[in-house]
Every structure is written in C-alpha cells, then in structure tokens.
Amino acid sequence: MNKFYITTPIYYANSLPHLGHLYTTIVADTINRYKKQRGFETYFLTGTDEHGINIQRVAEKNGRTPQAQVDFISDELKKVFADFGLSYDIFMRTTNPYHYEAVQDLWREIAKNKTPKGNSPIYKGYYDAWFCAACAEFKTEKEYRLENNEPICPVHETRLEKVSEESYFFRLSDYAETLLQIIEKTEIVRPEARRNEVVSFIKSGLQDLSISRLKSAVYWGIPVPDDEEHTMYVWLDALSNYWTAIKHEKGNEAEQYWANVTHLVGKDILRFHTVYWFSFLLAAGLPVPKQVYAHGMWLDADGRKMGKTLGNVIDIGILHKYFSNDAVRYFCLREMVFGQDGKFGYENFIERVNSDLAKGLGNLSSRVLTMIRNFCRGEIPEGIINDANYLNAKRAGVAPDAQEVAKILETSRNEFLQQFDDFEFSRALETIWSAIAKIDKFLSDAKPWNLAKEESQRETLEAVLYRATESLRWFCVLLYPVMPQATSEIYTQIGLTDDIANIDPSGLKYGELKQGIKIGEIKGVFPNLDKVKIMTEIEKDINQLAVSTQKSATEKVAGEKSGQTDHENDPEQFITIDDFLKVELRVGEILVAERIPKADKLLRFEINLGESAPRQILAGLAEFYEPETLIGRKVVVVANLKPRKMRGLESQGMICAASLEDGTGEKPALAAFIENVDIGARLK
C-alpha cells in the first residue's frame, strides 16, 4: 500500500488556539481522509512547538513554569481539535524526550558532513544583530524597517532586540545554488507565487544562520550536543520534529512515508520550511520533503487583517457553539482559494451555509428521500425504463436511459478528483455544487410529484427517483473528506451500511445502488440558519466576552494594588510612581510644522513650551497630517527625552499621540485638551 504523510505546522505554545490553527488542521484532516479513501496508508501529524525565549517570557508573565505553559496550550489545542472532530495520528510535542535525543543526533550528523562547497556546515562565531523574539529570527537590514530610528519587525510591528553573544552558525550561504536547483524549476514549493518569493529570497543572497543562543539568555530549549552552555535555535529544533516523529513512530518504514510527505504551512513561515529546513536536511544527508504548500491568511469580511485591537477576530468558541463542524469545514475549504487570502465573517458564513448546504445538498437529500418514502414505500425503486414506457418517459421530459445523469456524475467526479489532488479545494467543491444544481434541476423538470398522480408514469417516477438517489450516493462519497458527519448521515438515510470512509471515489460506477434497499429515518442534516437570531446571539456573546475580559483585567490590577500579584518577580511588568515622575510631560503649542526633504514620514516642528526659545522636535506624522493644519495646536510633549539626531536634525523631545500597535496603519491621534491650559504647564 502506498504511504502518505501529512503535517500541519507544530503550533507555537505561547498563545491560545485561534482560527489559523483550526483552518490548517481542517485542511490537513480533509486531505488525510481523502488519501485514505484513495487507498493510501496515511500518517497525520500536528502538535506544538514548545521551546524558545517567547515561551520563557509568556510563562513568566502568566506566573507559570515553561513546562506548565506548554502543557496548558497543548491541552487547549487538543480540546479544540476534539471539539471540531479532527483526528490525527500523533500530537507531536517538542518536549518529548525522544525528540531531544533525535535532534541532538541530527545536529551531530550535520556537523560531521560537508557543505556543497566543501566547508563545515556548523562553526562557532559571534553574533551582533537585531532579533525578533516573536519570529524567533535574527533580522538583516533588508528585513526590518526603521521607525523613529528604531528597528521594527514588519511582521509583528514590535521593536527588535539587540543581541550580542557567542553563537554557533549554520553555513546557509553554501546551500544557495543547491536550493535553487531543487526549488526554482519544480513544484516542490506551492503555489507558484510563493515559490517565486522563496526563489527571490535565495537569489538576494543567503547569510549564515545563527543556530544557538547562550543558555544564560535562553535556557528553555534543547542543549547543543557537547556544549551545555548553548541551547539550539528554536527553528532547528521545531522543524526537525517532522522527521524525528515519523522516525520514532514508524521505524524502518519512516523513509517510505518521508518519500511522500506534504507540509502545510502559513505563508508567513514558508521561508523557514523551505530555505532553512531544506538546508538542514541536505546537510544531514536526508531527502527534502516532497511538497511544501503555503496557504493564505484569513481577513475579516471587509478585507482587513484580523486583530484583537480591531475587534474583528473570529472566536472559534462561537463557531463551535452556533455551527456544525461540517459547516465550518465546508466554509473554510469553499471560501478560501487554497494558497490565497480569504474573507471570514459570521454573516457571510451563515449566508454560504444557507445557500450551499441548507438549500443545496441538504434540500436535495430531504426532497429525494421524502419522495421515496411517500411514493415508493420507503424502498430504493427500480431505475430502468422499459421500451413499453418509452413514450411515457419522453412525454414527461425524462430521457429513457440514464446516460445524461451518469455523464454529469462521471464528469464532475473526474474534475473533482483532479482538483482535489491539486489542492484546489474551492474549485473542487464548486464542481460538485454545479452537479448538485443540475440534478436538482433534473428533479424539478421531471416533477415526480405529478408523475406520482399517473399510474402510467409509475416506471418513469421510479427511474427519476432512482437517478436522484444514485446521485446522492455519489455526492456523499465524494464529499466525505470535506463533511464526514453529514455525508455519513445522508449515506445511512439512503439505507447503505458499508463504510463510506473506505470507498474510493475513482471506482464509483453508475447503477451500483441496489433496488429494494429500505431507506433510513429522514433527518435534515443542514437546517436553514436564522441569520438575524444567530447574529443577535453572537453579538451578545462578543459583548459579554469583552465585559468579562475587562472585568478580569480590572480585578487583576486591583489585586496587584493590594499586593496580590502574580508579577512580583517580574520587575519589568510595571513602573512605580517614582519612575513615572521621571517623565516630564509639558503642554506645548506648535509654531512651525513642515515636511523634511526626502523624508516621507517625518515632520519638523518648532514648539513653544514656555521656555526662552522654541524646541525643535521631529515626529513620524507626515503620512497622517498636513503640516499647516497642525500650526497653533496644543500638544503634549515629553520634554526631558534625551535629544537625538534624525536626518541630520536634532529632535529635542517627543510629541505624544495615541495609536494602535497592530500595524493596521490607523491614523494616530494627537493628545489634546478639552479645557484651556497654559503653555508649558506640566502634566501630573
């Protein structure tokens, strides 16, 4: 039997599960079920990435040990996957003891080999660079932007940290040509647009990669072999799980699974899963994966990136409360073209479910089976129209043979399988829903409820209902990987008892539905959703959650003020009143505001703080304010900020403005006053 290995990313155990985790795992679960139907012996991996400085920091913030933190997140993910009916073969955790040993063995294997240019793949050096803890990656000058002269990660919109320490390096630069040969002219990386991005990154020049941190800085990680003072780079540790897990679980058969492995990843981590991961494998003498497929991100219904500050996050708890698992699966696979970004909103979710599921497949199933119960004694009827009734069938507008229906099913099946093999899930579902619409029209045109009134049309009636029921059987088998529960229920209602999960859709033949089978109890699998009612309830839940969150935050602050704090050992969590008094906030009036040549973001201000001369202050407001509109405004200025030079000009303070920290690009609001205040007054 052919082997197939599918993986999701192992999700970083620093935050609770969200829609991104759910989506990728739904896709992997669907592919896994489909491959099993097609006769593959499959293995499905998901899990958690549990090491690194971010875990340390989140654990400290939450008053937990790192192990308690990763245990908590792993349990939460498992619960979500169980709630949504997702089944995997292994929930991989990088804190598994066997993974420690296997990753250290992989390091040793890499270290003893040579690069394509004959050099040692690993060497010790010194690193002095900017680091993003959220990305777990050092950033080159091309990979960050400067904002007020501070380096900012463009992914997480956070300030980078300066790291200067001894480090082990991986000689990534020696693998550029080999990587291009593997990636550039093959489909190992998909979709094509993402492959082009990876190729462009490689061609821009690869720099050697720091693959360790001093234990004194990052203690929560796997020790470097034979050097306990260093811990492994978290991405080397995490990426290796795909290999260490299958090797541990399948032993001698691991290579067979690895020969047909597909990694599903978000587009934001594609570089790690191609450039870095492929190079690590090549250095260790192991084959690269068969395929890495990068999917897009979910946006809200208005096309905006989702974020807590915008209040547009899809709560997976709400999805589970109000919608069936199969409805969620269908929407995710139908709405997002795999590889591109997609829009997800509760309202468009309800509309899609009602139009496609309730009024489409669900309605067809109920109509057909109800007519079999009412007109055919609840048994699958004869599907053949004999020559004697040829004219009766023609008079009813029904073709005497079933070739028209059979052709619809076979053509749709063949297109669906090709599209599914290519991970074109949205197109595949569109293909089947086109077939459902054709069968629905066939049924409406034939009007079996009228045929039932004429005894002479008995054979035509039964043939029409047989063809419609046989179509339902095909749809159930084809759609099982996408909607396993609903299709299994419809399949049972037809009266079929074999295991739909093990039926290869490529082997479906028209006419194999047996006459005389007693249908089961008819139940609607996709009831029509009351949009107004559900949206009202969802809004209540969202508001209650917001109130609960605010209450929890208030109680937490109150507890901390009374000495009941979880952060007593975290001196950076809060400032004292003494710290606050060090900041000198003063009222200033803008006298001059003008653009700086060749500086797109900066404005130059002269501000009256009630001193002998105006202050010159530079601020990144040029994208949001026309300079002339700011003259005469009273603003809040940090007056005792150490002066610094930007664009050759000295800035002697900072203007205070409120802005979101999620990178949405919303206009910052300058701090202002309702009442009249004197120039130079100090804020206390």
What is the rounded distance in angstroms from the CA atom of residue 332 to the CA atom of residue 342? 9
Q: Which of 215, 250, 290, 305 is catalytic?
A: 305
51 as an active site residue: the answer is no
305 as an active site residue: the answer is yes
What is the rounded distance in angstroms from the CA atom of residue 354 to the CA atom of residue 535? 14
Percent of residues in the chain assigned helix, strand, coil, to nearest 5: 45, 20, 35
Q: Which of 3, 51, 99, 153 is catalytic?
A: 153
18 as an active site residue: the answer is yes
Q: Which of 3, 21, 51, 634 is catalytic?
A: 21
308 as an active site residue: the answer is yes
Q: How far apart are the first and last CA of the chain?
A: 75
Q: Which of 156, 290, 359, 601 is catalytic?
A: 156
C-beta separation of 143 from 204 below 8 A: no
Which letter does DSSP use for residue 240 in this model? T
Supply φ then ψ for residue 540, to 5 degrees.
-60, -45
Q: Which amino acid is at 67?
A: Q
DSSP symbols for 161-182: EEEEEEEEEE-GGGGHHHHHHH
What is the rounded distance in angstroms from the CA atom of residue 682 to the CA atom of residue 540? 43
> Token pair of 445, please?
């045109």
132 as an active site residue: the answer is yes
Contacts of 521 (CB under 8 A, 6+ apart): 493
Q: Which amino acid is at 517?
A: I
Supply φ then ψ for residue 501, to 5 degrees.
-65, -20
Q: Which of 35, 51, 132, 634 is catalytic?
A: 132
601 as an active site residue: the answer is no
Nearest in space to 655 (alpha carbons), one of 560, 575, 585, 581: 585
Contacts of 654 (CB under 8 A, 6+ apart): 617, 619, 637, 638, 641
Q: Which of 3, 35, 51, 135 is catalytic?
A: 135
Which letter does DSSP use for residue 573 in this model? S
C-beta separation of 161 from 130 below 8 A: yes
263 as an active site residue: the answer is no
Residue carrying structure tokens 């489409």: 360
DSSP symbols for 50-76: --SHHHHHHHHHTT--HHHHHHHHHHH
3-state SS assignment for residue 515:
coil
What is the rounded distance in angstroms from the CA atom of residue 46 to the CA atom of residue 82? 13
Distance of CA 547 to the CA centre of its chain: 27
Nearest in space to 272 (alpha carbons), one of 34, 101, 98, 52: 52
135 as an active site residue: the answer is yes
Catalytic amino acids? 18, 21, 132, 135, 153, 156, 305, 308
